[in-house]
Amino acid sequence: MANIAVNVSNVSMKYRLATEKIDSFKYLLIKKLKNELKYEEFYALKDVSFTVNRGEVFGIIGLNGAGKSTLLKIIAGVIKPTIGRVEKHGSIAPLLELGAGFNGELTGIENIYLNGLLFGYTKKFIAHKIDEIIEYSELGKFIHTPLKNYSSGMKARLGFSIATIVQPDILIVDEVLAVGDIKFKAKSEEKIRQMMSGGTTVLFVSHSLGQVENICDRALWLEHGEVKSIGNPGELIADYKNSN
């Protein structure tokens, strides 16, 4: 296990969905008190197992609703699985949702400090790195503007710049590189390659199959919450395209 960065063992995630439309909290409360609420069980993930090696770039593909984001949130520790376990070896920088941890009323600079503290950076470290973060984000004068005025692409650039200012052992990226201009996408891909060459393990979700094929060493194909296949990205993506 010395070479394993992430070990996902028999992970399942079950949700309970109401089988009827609930129009108000009052109606929900009445039905609950009468024990008349009916649920249907839904598995977002079902018996998922795989390992990711240290220094590997591991892609995850699948249609919307396949369970990709749920899987990454479980690995990052944001949510706990219903069944199964995840073992992680090393520090993690999760870049999961655009604007996660940001405050729309604060400026870009203020959000760098806020988000950096959430990542576990010290205030002194952030102050030392802030010019580098701003320069990498390419936000220019907008760094002094409240985040509520940012586009999703600008938020993504800022979030990526903060998360990758240090070299974590494990970087988790969920669709962040799908937003923004072509130049920044290429820059982000190059940054991931640099981190990879420095030994960082990357778990990467993207609808851009080209990105997965270009960046990843191996890939996992999720279908309806289950592992359909794991293997070489080019071969796996060819099979995926032929099935859809």
Give the CA distances from residue 76 to residues 7, 12, 108, 196, in Å, rounded to whole numbers and listed in that order. Answer: 12, 15, 25, 18
- In this structure, of 15-24, 83-92, 164-173, the range with the lowest mean pLDDT score is 15-24
In a domain, 206, yes or no: yes
Name 86's bridge partners: 8
Average pLDDT over residues 177-196: 76
The boundaries of the domain holding residue 206 are 4-91+168-243
Q: Which residues of 152-172 are buried (b: 16+ CB within 10 A; e: fewer)?
A: eebbbbbbbbbbbbbebbbbb
In a domain, 81, yes or no: yes
In a domain, 140, yes or no: no
Q: How far apart are CA 9 and CA 49, in angstroms?
A: 5
pLDDT digits (tens, 9 = 90+) for 62-74: 998 899 989 999 9
In a domain, 16, yes or no: yes
In a domain, 33, yes or no: yes
In a domain, 199, yes or no: yes
CATH number at residue 61: 3.40.50.300
Tell me how many domains the chain contains.
Answer: 1
- In this structure, of 9-23, 46-60, 216-230, the range with the lowest mean pLDDT score is 9-23
pLDDT digits (tens, 9 = 90+) for 128-175: 999 999 999 999 999 999 999 998 888 888 988 888 888 889 988 887
In a domain, 86, yes or no: yes
In a domain, 129, yes or no: no
pLDDT digits (tens, 9 = 90+) for 21-55: 666 665 556 666 667 666 678 899 999 999 999 99
